[in-house]
Structure 1
């Protein structure tokens, strides 16, 4: 099916526009460093993405089949059971800023790269909405929850095809390089879903509180039904 390469993805590369950096204290020790990097690297950054349309071929209790590949996942079953198409995707912030790690703090450079990744994911969703009319786009990423482990990246890469044209490679442990890269399934009309709602772990990046009733509905109730 149709494969779309966005290289590069244009993002707002500005301290006042990037969501993660908006709350940064101007008197913090890293503020001036981040500001200097952003002001001098606009031409360097090249965030990129691949999208590929995919039919939802079969949905059975606890599993979903896409392009002949069956994924065993209660989460995918719950979220995709009434859909006909989804978008497979790989999104990366790139590694262009890594050359700065000898001059600046590596942790500061990584903060900027992570910010670029967040903004790139937002712009990819905006592109899908503008071009295809999809709204409330949510995403399912291998490894974000135990129900769909990171090993499934190997199948996503096989389905999407060669990712070297956006500078991404899959490692033996099924994680990706460059580090600030994500893969997964994008689908429409699910404004309320976010992985945090189904995750019990404590995390500094938590965006939503754990929702026990939703967790039990998706995972435990399905176990009862299967029994």
Structure 2
């Protein structure tokens, strides 16, 4: 089971300010730059994934080995695929511990934002690595709980596929199906001609993590 470590995360303070929409005053006297320089070493990015064959699929879901995943959207997305890549990735818990120790709410907000941006960076790096290692042009992903069509309860079967690897990178699933450390991501990578975003099927408004606009018409081909 491949474990990916030593993942480079390069984030410029100016880019962080822009993506988090922080006021320009945080650029004064280089204090924000120094703060970011102190925080980045707290990141512990690691990931684990596995190449798995799809052993059965229909309109309602897919079977990976002996594990069933029930999702119309996932089934349609992998209808032409023969293999998928279950994954878990994290930035570790040191950043969230620092945020919990801070009394300044703005500082907590910035640390949370840096953690989110770092997690996206790890996801991109892992996708690129899997593509390179397995000769794939493009990967998209889905995560349990990202859509009502694929409920968060399916974290359990996903983690059962990666049980050994999740321990290696220090990620565990709570009884409430939340991952610890909090800044972790799990799901299934799959090869696609066009990049898929679960956001296009999610009507939630004012979502800070939205990566693509909602498209109500897209529900028809997925029959949800």
TM-score range, shorter chain: 0.7 to 0.9
CA distance in 1, matches of 2:37, 2:50: 34
Question: After the TM superposition, which residues 43-192 of structure 1 pair with which residues of structure 2 at under 5 Å, given as runs?
Answer: 43-101=41-99, 102-103=101-102, 105-162=107-164, 163-192=166-195
Decide whether the 8 Å contact of 1:30 with 1:108 is kept in 2.
Answer: no
1:29–1:216 Cα change, 3 Å: same
- Find the residue that maps to 1:94 and give its secondary structure: coil
Selected match of 2:202 from 199, 212, 215: 199
Could you say which residue in structure 2 is the equivalent of 1:223?
none
* Structure 1: runs of 5 or more not aligned: 221-227
1:28–1:187 Cα change, 3 Å: farther
1:118–1:28 Cα change, 3 Å: farther
Residue 109 of structure 1: CA displacement? Answer: 1.2
Residue 176 of structure 1: CA displacement? Answer: 0.4
Relative to structure 2, which stretch is displaced further, 61-70 or 34-43?
34-43
TM-score with structure 1 setting the length: 0.86
Relative to structure 2, which stretch is displaced further, 21-30 or 67-76?
21-30
Could you say which residue in structure 2 is the equivalent of 1:41?
39
CA distance in 2, matches of 1:131, 1:22: 33
More helix by share: 2
Residue 186 of structure 1: CA displacement? Answer: 0.3
Q: Over aligned residue pairs, what C-alpha RMSD do you find?
A: 2.2
1:152–1:99 Cα change, 3 Å: closer
TM-score with structure 2 setting the length: 0.87
CA distance in 2, matches of 1:128, 1:50: 11
Residue 37 of structure 1: CA displacement? Answer: 2.7
Relative to structure 2, which stretch is displaced further, 67-76 or 146-155?
67-76
Q: Deviations over 1:180-214 (max 9, x none)?
A: 11100001124331011111121233222221221
CA distance in 2, matches of 1:219, 1:184: 21
Could you say which residue in structure 1 is the equivalent of 2:216?
212
Decide whether the 8 Å contact of 1:44 with 1:96 is kept in 2.
Answer: yes
- Find the residue that maps to 1:151 and give its secondary structure: helix
CA distance in 2, matches of 1:28, 1:91: 34
Decide whether the 8 Å contact of 1:138 with 1:190 is kept in 2.
Answer: no
